Amino acid sequence: MEFKIPDNLSGRQSLLVEKEHTAKFLGSGSVEVLATPMMIALMENTALEAVQSYLPEEWTTVGTKVEVEHLRPTPSGEEVQAEALLVEKKDRQLVFFVTAFDRKGVIGQGSHSRYIINKQNFLSKLKS
């Protein structure tokens, strides 16, 4: 199946850092700053949402690789934004350049790969 995903596809989302997004709450650290796993989840979800509207209803993407650096902390109460820019398409493999930033600038960046799947086929393989 061929998918009509624009070469210059991008997406953007934001998140207000609250207690449940912090390293202390998640157990990935002991301070109340944005947890690295939450930053990565925001980046992944931004890439997912950017491409989803270009796929038929029975199709989606799954994350397959994340290579990011968390460069700077963001405290609770601050807003974080993530951007995902599609930089490579190869068959059903999509590679995004992802960036997260707060009001002071970039807090994280790197690459994230996703793979286009048929939901029903994917789930049926798990059951067998």
Residue 78 lies inside a defined structural domain of this protein: yes
Q: How far apart are CA 43 and CA 84, in angstroms?
A: 7
Residue 66 lies inside a defined structural domain of this protein: yes
Per the structure, the complete domain to which residue 36 belongs is given by: 10-127
Residue 60 lies inside a defined structural domain of this protein: yes
Q: How far apart are CA 27 and CA 18, in angstroms?
A: 15
CA angle 21, 52, 127 (to 5 degrees): 85
Residue 2 lies inside a defined structural domain of this protein: no
Cα dihedral: 82, 88, 93, 99 (round 10): -10
CATH number, domain with residue 60:
3.10.129.10
pLDDT tens digits, 28-71: 999 999 999 999 999 999 999 999 999 999 999 999 999 999 99
Q: How far apart are CA 62 and CA 54, in angstroms?
A: 15
Output the pTM of the full model: 0.95
Cα dihedral: 27, 15, 10, 67 (round 10): -20
Residue 3 lies inside a defined structural domain of this protein: no
Tell me how many domains the chain contains.
Answer: 1
Q: How far apart are CA 128 and CA 122, in angstroms?
A: 11
| pLDDT value at residue 105 | 98
Residue 101 lies inside a defined structural domain of this protein: yes
